Amino acid sequence: MQEANTHTAKRGTFSSGFGVLAATLGSAVGLGNIWKFPYLTGANGGAGFLLIYLLATLVIGLPVMMAELAVGRQARSNPITALQKLAPKGQPWWLIGAAGMVAAFLILSFYSEVVAWVFAYVFKAIGGSILSNDRHVTEAAFNALIGDPVQSLLWQWGVLIFIGGILLLGVTKGIEALAKKLMPLLFLLLMILCAVSLSLDKAGEGLAFLFRPDFSKITASAILTAMGLAFFKLSLGMGAMLTYGSYFRDDQNIPMTTARVMAADLCVSMLAGMAIFPAVFTFGFAPAAGPALVFITIPAVFSQIPMGQLLMIAFFVLAAIAATGAMLSLTEVPVVILHERLNIPRRRATLLTILGLALLGSTCALTNNVLANFKLFGLNMFDLYDFISSNVILPAGGILLAVFVGWVWGKEKFTNALSNQGKLNNPGVTRAAFFLLRYVSPVLTLLVMLKGLNLL
Ligand code: PHE
């Protein structure tokens, strides 16, 4: 990301097609795939949930991602200014960008805590004590970590300082490129894990859980969760993709980039699912174990193979790198808004954001210990921030953006943007995307939200 992370008069752009794919993929692939997807699929009954997730990705995620990238590139500014520029004077579409900033803070607050666990697990893996297929051992190790307020806080602040350091040193571009280069390695490791997992005794049960739908488990709230996951996993609805789109070059093929990112994102998730569920059934874990699922099952799978300890260290290091790309894109939203809207130098905007996150994020670090009994609307702070961001702000942001593009920005401008002013010959793609944005995505998203939130 050329100069996008330093305080310069000129806005940065991604220098190459490689940079674009690296950063966009870096934003999409993260703990959403490795941690959230398996645990939500497990908690919501498996295959049926997966099916709805896939539908949401195709019908809502695909067009919304194209819309965000196109709007960002056209306006070449932060989410708030972008919508002000493209909307008719006086219409408050910029509020989507403002809501996105709130979502970024909420997401980063719990995300940084999960990254904290991943970092801690790198060291636990080196120590070797978690390498076991005994459920009680791996569960106890995880509970000891999250139950300790000091460790939870220190690891989280360490993660935040690490992210702040990357942004202040201006090595974002390097990290994104690194993430892209290392992604194949993560793929490879996940494939090894899958192979091991599929050779386990009860692998069949795990696969059936993941691929044979049981429609009785599909409730309105499960549908809302699946849709929220689609937004979260693809970094949609809160301005992250819009911001990255603003760094795209004019000749970047947006529909193609979108398709590639979505395909890669899906592959990583499926591999994670196939690595985890056979182990869940073989070693007697509960599929609905919640946020702990990955952390307790993965060590059990690694314990089954030679060099398991070394590979487990590599796995958590790679997961940390993948998560870093996602965190960078999340942090970029408030930083660029503070910088461009309030004229705060980028460095100071970064420091302010990290400081704010350390404060708000603490409530998530303390969720499983000191604040264990503190609940609002029946949820602890960790789950509450996740629920509000994934199931409310992201889908709402997505609906509004779809309505904006479909009904306000209009077909001609959208088509021009997606076809690079007519240089790409892709009328079918742009027409289909526009139709979905205008009629299908907003209506579906709204219905799912109202039903899932018990308002219908
Ligand atoms: N998509 C990222 C992940 O899967 C998380 C994310 C959400 C990043 C929203 C940016 C914006 O981990």
pLDDT digits (tens, 9 = 90+) for 201-211: 999 999 999 99
104 CB less than 6 Å from ligand 1? no
Q: Which CATH architecture has domain 17-452?
A: Orthogonal Bundle (1.10)
289 CB less than 6 Å from ligand 1? no
CA–CA dist 208, 210 (Å, integer): 5
Atom of ligand 1 at shortest distance to CA of 322?
12
CA of 423 to the centre of ligand 1 (A): 31
| 65 and 258 Cβ atoms separated by less than 8 Å | yes
Q: Is the dihedral of CA 138, 39, 220, 445 positive or negative?
A: positive
Q: For the complex shown, is ipTM > 0.85?
A: yes
CA nearest neighbour of 36 among 153, 115, 125: 115
Residue 285 has, within 13 A of its CA and on its CB side, a CA count of 31
DSSP state of 400: H
Strand partners, 26: none
Structural element, H or E, at residue 223: helix 220-233
What is the pLDDT confidence band of residue 115, given thresholds at 50, 70 and 90? very high
Q: What is the dihedral of CA 328, 235, 319, 145, to 10 degrees?
A: 90
Per-domain boundaries in the chain: 17-452
442 CB less than 6 Å from ligand 1? no
232 CB less than 6 Å from ligand 1? yes
110 CB less than 6 Å from ligand 1? no
CA–CA dist 45, 303 (Å, integer): 27
Q: What average pLDDT score do residues 212-223 get?
A: 90
For residue 65, pLDDT over 80 is answered with yes
CA nearest neighbour of 56 among 323, 398, 322, 325: 398
For residue 23, pLDDT over 70 is answered with yes
Above pLDDT 90, what percent of the chain?
Answer: 79
CA of 232 to the centre of ligand 1 (A): 5
Residues in the chain: 456
Q: What b/e readout covers 207-226, taking b as 16+ CB neighbours within 10 angstroms?
A: bebbeebeeeebeeebbbbb
Tokens, residue 353? 């954001």
CA of 203 to the centre of ligand 1 (A): 30
CA of 434 to the centre of ligand 1 (A): 24
31 CB less than 6 Å from ligand 1? yes
| 73 and 121 Cβ atoms separated by less than 8 Å | no
CA–CA dist 50, 438 (Å, integer): 26
Q: What average pLDDT score do residues 38-58 get?
A: 95
C-alpha distances (whole Å) from 19 to each of 329, 414, 417, 437 are: 14, 24, 20, 27
287 CB less than 6 Å from ligand 1? no
CA of 149 to the centre of ligand 1 (A): 26
Q: What average pLDDT score do residues 427-433 get?
A: 95
CA of 292 to the centre of ligand 1 (A): 19
User: What crossing angle do the helices spanning 149-169 and 172-198 adopt, rounded to 10°?
Assistant: 130
CA nearest neighbour of 360 among 102, 130, 26: 102
Instruction: Supply the residue whose CA is at minimum distance from atom 4 of ligand 1.
Output: 32
